[in-house]
Chain A
Amino acid sequence: AQSVTQLGSHVSVSEGALVLLRCNYSSSVPPYLFWYVQYPNQGLQLLLKYTSAATLVKGINGFEAEFKKSETSFHLTKPSAHMSDAAEYFCAVSQNTGGFKTIFGAGTRLFVKA
Chain B
Amino acid sequence: DAGITQSPRHKVTETGTPVTLRCHQTENHRYMYWYRQDPGHGLRLIHYSYGVKDTDKGEVSDGYSVSRSKTEDFLLTLESATSSQTSVYFCAISELAVSSYNEQFFGPGTRLTVL
Q: Which residues of A contact B (CB under 8 A)?
A: 6, 9, 32, 34, 36, 41-46, 49, 51, 90, 94, 96, 99-102, 104-107
Contact = CB atoms under 8 A, between A and B. Distances in A.
Contacts of A100: 31, 94, 96, 102
Interface of B: 4, 31, 35, 40-45, 48, 50, 56, 58, 90, 92, 94, 96, 101-109
Contacts of A9: 40
30 contacts: A6-B42, A34-B103, A41-B109, A42-B109, A43-B4, A43-B92, A43-B106, A43-B108, A43-B109, A44-B90, A44-B92, A44-B104, A46-B103, A49-B103, A94-B101, A94-B102, A96-B102, A99-B50, A100-B31, A100-B94, A100-B102, A101-B45, A101-B48, A102-B104, A104-B42, A104-B43, A104-B44, A106-B41, A106-B42, A107-B42
Nearest to B40: A106
Contact of A32 (B56, B58, B101): B101
Given A99-B48, A99-B56, A105-B42, A45 B106 contact: yes
Given A100-B94, A102-B102, A90 B42 contact: yes
Contacts of A6: 42
